[in-house]
Amino acid sequence: MKQCRVCATPLSQPSYAAPAPAMTSLSTLIDIPSDVFVCLQCGHIQSPNLPDVQAFYDNEYRISLQSDEHDQLYETRKGKPVFRTDHQAQIVLELDLPQNAKILDFGAAKATTLKKVFDQRSDLIPYVFDVSEDYRSHWASWVDEDNQATYQLPHAWHGKFDVITAHFVIEHVEEPVQILKELAQCLSPEGKLFFSVPDPLGNSGDLLVADHLNHFTEVSLQKAIALSGLKVERINQSDFRGAHCVIATRSNGVGVEPDNLTIQKTVSEANEKLGWWKNVLSNLKDYPNAAIYGAGFYGTLIASRLSGLPICFIDRNPHLQGKKHLNRPVIIPEDCPSNIETIYAGLNPDHAPQILNKEQEWVRPHTDIIYLT
Ligand SMILES: [Zn+2]
């Protein structure tokens, strides 16, 4: 890795390095080592290009096409699952979109979020873009064929859109500034770009996700936006837990640069979190009769660092029930076998004790809970 993906400053040594396997955002494992670099100049955090990025998105990423219902659980509200696309649609609906707005979902995949928005705002004119042909059948029934594009943004789309959304896309791209520039070009003069990317300092597991080539900090986002001919209207970490949600408009040359002191603080915090992960993962021990709570990212991360696999994964996501993960069954908490003596909390370490603890009825008194700490 030669230079920062945002500010092009040459990079030196990685702040974190671990042997294969590496984690992906789909909670699968790939046979490459993990290296994470922190840019001292702009506070951007990044991972190397995947060895075969095309093969990854063609093969691995099709997983979410296997089922129309496959979707990540965002949270449970009053006992009911709220999926990521439900929550994203809610955020977009709150953007105060003008009547008959032209809205492009960039990196749309199945465009589930835009479809949910469109179901409530049928006046909108939907457009979709992705770097794959695989999703055409999901778009066909409700997006005009002329409003669909793949691989390259059409010239005819320059200056066109009132709103462009990109939900968890920019973290995957090799050249984020180039992509943001292209999106800026496609905005109408008053148009808004809304995008979300993981917040690796708020949810530090993201630092270890190999297909997230970019781990944006607030300062590196500001820098990337300023370099792309855009200006920030809003960045927050509250609309979507564990993520930055950004609204930007065309800057006409008046972008705002982040201040140096904040960049230096960000660099220290990034190095501290990477050091913490190195320490925690090297201290993980194997226990007999163990289960992992969480068949998502953190659960898989724990499994990847143990010598043996757990008896089962325990997870509340109804879409995972009855399935296997890493060749082990995924079960609901109430079905936890009585011989389980140890449960690893495969959850975001910041929230794990609230989600999994001994006060829950299904956790037996003799069971030990191991937190990432
Ligand atoms: Zn940089």
Taking the C-alpha atoms of residue 224 and residue 175, their distance in angstroms, rounded to an integer, is 10
Tokens of 19: 């042997």
Ligand 1 centroid distance, CA of 114 (Å): 32
Ligand 1 centroid distance, CA of 373 (Å): 30
**285-314 burial code (b ≥16 CB/10 A, e <16):** eeeeebbbbbbbbbbbbbbbbeeeebbbbb
Taking the C-alpha atoms of residue 159 and residue 183, their distance in angstroms, rounded to an integer, is 9
Ligand 1 centroid distance, CA of 220 (Å): 7
Least confident of 121-130, 194-203, 320-329: 320-329
**67 has a pLDDT exceeding 50:** no
Percent of the chain, pLDDT > 90?
Answer: 80
Q: Which one is predicted more confidently, 171 or 96? A: 171
Element (H, E) at 106: strand 102-106
Residue 157 binned pLDDT confidence (cut-offs 50, 70, 90): very high
Ligand 1 centroid distance, CA of 11 (Å): 8
Summarize the confidence of residues 124-150 as an average pLDDT.
96
Residue 219 binned pLDDT confidence (cut-offs 50, 70, 90): very high
Ligand 1 centroid distance, CA of 13 (Å): 14
Ligand 1 centroid distance, CA of 338 (Å): 51
Ligand 1 centroid distance, CA of 46 (Å): 9
Ligand 1 centroid distance, CA of 7 (Å): 4
Ligand 1 centroid distance, CA of 41 (Å): 5
Residue 66 binned pLDDT confidence (cut-offs 50, 70, 90): very low
Ligand 1 centroid distance, CA of 257 (Å): 12
**Looking at residue 62, what is its pLDDT?**
54
Per-position DSSP letters for 261-289, written without gaps between them: HHHHHHHHHHHHHHHHHHHHHHT----SS
Summarize the confidence of residues 46-65 as an average pLDDT.
72
Ligand 1 centroid distance, CA of 301 (Å): 28
| Helix, strand or coil, per DSSP, at residue 190 | strand
- Answer whether 156's CB lies under 8 Å from 140's CB: no
List domains and CATH numbers for the chain: 64-262 (3.40.50.150), 285-370 (3.40.50.720)
Ligand 1 centroid distance, CA of 272 (Å): 18
Ligand 1 centroid distance, CA of 263 (Å): 10
Ligand 1 centroid distance, CA of 216 (Å): 10
Ligand 1 centroid distance, CA of 55 (Å): 28
| Helix, strand or coil, per DSSP, at residue 241 | coil
Ligand 1 centroid distance, CA of 176 (Å): 12
Ligand 1 centroid distance, CA of 161 (Å): 29
- Answer whether 181's CB lies under 8 Å from 1's CB: no
Q: Mind listing the pLDDT tens digit for each residue in 296-331?
A: 889 999 999 999 999 999 998 888 888 999 999 999
Ligand 1 centroid distance, CA of 219 (Å): 10
Spell out the residues 6+ positions from residue 315 whose beta carbon is closer than 8 angstroms to its own: 293, 294, 295, 296, 299, 321, 330, 331, 332
Burial class (CB in 10 A: 0-12, 13-18, 19+), 249: middle
Ligand 1 centroid distance, CA of 251 (Å): 21
Ligand 1 centroid distance, CA of 3 (Å): 8
Ligand 1 centroid distance, CA of 54 (Å): 25
Summarize the confidence of residues 77-105 as an average pLDDT.
93
Ligand 1 centroid distance, CA of 261 (Å): 15
Taking the C-alpha atoms of residue 8 and residue 353, their distance in angstroms, rounded to an integer, is 40
